[in-house]
Amino acid sequence: MKKTLIKNIGKIIGIVPEGKLRKEGAEMEEVETLEDAWLLIEGEKIHSFGSGEPPAGLSSGEHTVRTIDAGGGYVMPAFCDSHTHIVYAGSRYGEFRDKINGLSYEQIAERGGGILNSADLLRETPEEELFRQSLERAVEVMHKGTGALEIKSGYGLDTENELKMLRVIRRLKAALPVEIRATFLGAHAVGRAYTGRQGEYVDMVCHEMLPAVAAEGLADFVDVFCDRGFFTPEETLQILDAAQMYGLRGKIHANELAVSGGVQAGVSRNALSVDHLEQTAQAEIDALKGTETMPTMLPGASFFSRLPYGQAKNFIRSGLAVALASDYNPGSSPSGDMRFVMALGCIQMRLTPEEAFNACTLNSAYAMGISRTVGSVTAGKLANLIVTVPLPDLAFIPYSHHTPFISRVILKGDIQS
């Protein structure tokens, strides 16, 4: 099996014991490190690591070992981005002007823009072209250090085009070394053909779209935009219950625009994550305590849409875990830069660099059900790693948030850049 030795590592950061799937409360402050280290990759996985000189004799026998000199830089787990909408057609730069002129996300949506605008564009775009555009974005974030990515449908809004999106996600999974999970988000908005008939649209999502998605095995999770002006908690439960029959667990858009009841709806059906959470009160924290649901916040959407930032610090003080993700999408967060997400977590949400690091790696991996295989430096996990330039401290990554810091991205044991 192919072996790669990374030597001359200034510090390995983000070492987590096997079996530790998420960090909650005060644990989020812990980032285990090892100085003056080496790390050995075998095949796609991390084989072993240690401090001091690498073990002798690695190159013996017929196995040659490729060596990477980290030059005193850090080795850290690649970022995990558990909430994106990177499969979309074109862009929505026109609405950027509306936004600057003062229209809110909801006002843009009410005028027929927003998600429906992207749905119109996507319907006109052939699958091949949609794949090409989406691949470009996936490659972009890969070079920015993202090694695991969740991608949602939700700009099709009819069966044919939802399936088209999910097939594009399947092709991305096959084309890239990034670990990808697909989420079916038929209930992102009511498709134009169903205007004024929301109940019928929800029935169609449950009885037509979901069976078709499940028949092709195209989705790992199901999502609903449970918020003011979009779908109600009751409709959300209807969709989550229908999805459960196909073994699809929920990852809910909740509490972006209002205290929507989405958190409680998700928790009541053991959703894997409830995401956004710009608008929460103590009731949402209480609902999440003792559950397996990962609260996921999207500071890039708060930044771009000028929404309040989620109360991540309160969540952590209450003993909860928090994950951060980019929400990369054409309307509310046209960026998938997880380093910037980490910086916003620190600057705007007052997370410590350590808390933000855990939120962007292990906890975000948990929020897509893959923290057994990615999200930390752990023997046996996939070798999805960032080798950095020499850094004075972990804090430098979010602090100097646009100074290049990546020397190499390694995914599944192979150097990508």
CB of 156 to ligand NIG, least distance (A): 12
- In the complex, the residues that contact ligand NIG under the rule CB under 6 A are 85, 114-115, 118, 225, 253, 256, 301, 327, 329-332
Using CB under 5 A as the binding rule, the residues of this chain from 272 to 331 that contact Fe ion are 327
CB of 83 to Fe ion, least distance (A): 6
Residue nearest to ligand NIG (CB): 331
CB of 6 to ligand NIG, least distance (A): 36
Closest CA to 189 of 329, 364, 367: 329
Dihedral of alpha carbons 174, 175, 180, 184, sign: negative
CB of 368 to ligand NIG, least distance (A): 15
**Residue placing its CB nearer to ligand NIG in the complex, 181 or 253:** 253
**Residue placing its CB nearer to ligand NIG in the complex, 330 or 353:** 330
Using CB under 5 A as the binding rule, the residues of this chain from 68 to 87 that contact Fe ion are none
**Residue placing its CB nearer to Fe ion in the complex, 95 or 354:** 95
**Residue placing its CB nearer to Fe ion in the complex, 328 or 405:** 328
CB of 330 to ligand NIG, least distance (A): 5
> Site size for Fe ion, by CB under 5 A?
1
**Residue placing its CB nearer to Fe ion in the complex, 227 or 327:** 327
225 binds, among ligand NIG, Fe ion, none (CB under 5 to 8 A by kind): ligand NIG
CB of 69 to ligand NIG, least distance (A): 41
Sites of contact with Fe ion (CB under 5 A): 327
